[in-house]
Amino acid sequence: AQKITQTQPGMFVQEKEAVTLDCTYDTSDQSYGLFWYKQPSSGEMIFLIYQGSYDEQNATEGRYSLNFQKARKSANLVISASQLGDSAMYFCAMREGGSEKLVFGKGTKLTVNP
Amino acid sequence: NAGVMQNPRHLVRRRGQEARLRCSPMKGHSHVYWYRQLPEEGLKFMVYLQKENIIDESGMPKERFSAEFPKEGPSILRIQQVVRGDSAAYFCASSAAGELETQYFGPGTRLLVL
């Protein structure tokens, strides 16, 4: 079974609008971490945001917020006030308790239209 | 504070040659991870190392691939007798002891096997 599922291969959003990128995960661990990374066309992987399984508050970092719904095992990324520079691939990843490796989803390609 | 450094950024090899990929972690980081990204895919974990120790190599192919992180110098991912299927982007990430939640990625090495 897939550990991380990103069901949206591609998403489009108008500049200045908000967009939600979906991510669901599968784990039986109680302790785990969820991450979002951005990969622009230049290829580097940029860390955006982290949510721990025990964190009660949703993580926020500037225009990025993580909508963490533990019971539904979802960790959607919300980007507010989209900018043209947000156009990129976005990867959701999980680190399970007792392991240091990250397991990545297949990614969502976000295109911001002017 | 310099980020994770990887070199070369691009590497072309003919089938049967050896590829050596280097990774210098962020200053103060003693944990290194290698991931591979095939075209149109998310990253797949290969190996996790601390100085002079391989901690988890569950994602490494059984043959031709090896990794090290010596006491001095960068981490090296070595691929012997490369084949066309080894063509991919290879990313290194690092984290600090006590801050294992967040892995910071280097820019990647794009390996092309002709």
Q: Tell me how close the Cα of A79 comes to any Cα of chain B, in angstroms.
A: 20
Residue B86 three-state SS: helix
Cβ neighbours, 10 Å, residue B5: 15
Each residue of A57-113: pLDDT tens digit?
999 999 999 999 999 999 999 999 999 999 999 999 999 887 888 999 999 999 999
**Quick count: other Cβ atoms within 10 Å of Cβ B86?**
20
Query: Residues near B94 by Cβ (< 8 Å), separated by ≥ 6?
Result: B4, B23, B25, B26, B29, B31, B32, B33, B103, B104, B106
CA distance A52 to A58: 9
Instruction: Give the pLDDT band of residue A56 (cuts 50, 70, 90).
Output: confident
B59 interaction partners in chain A (CB closer than 8 Å): 101
Contacting residues of B for A103, CB less than 8 Å apart? 45
Whether B65 and B72 have beta carbons less than 8 Å apart is answered as no
Residue A20 is predicted with a pLDDT of 98
pLDDT tens digits, one per residue of A7-52:
999 999 999 999 999 999 999 999 999 999 999 998 889 999 999 9
CB contact under 8 A, B42 and A52: no
Q: What is the mean pLDDT of residues B21-35?
A: 94
Q: What is the pLDDT of residue A1?
A: 63
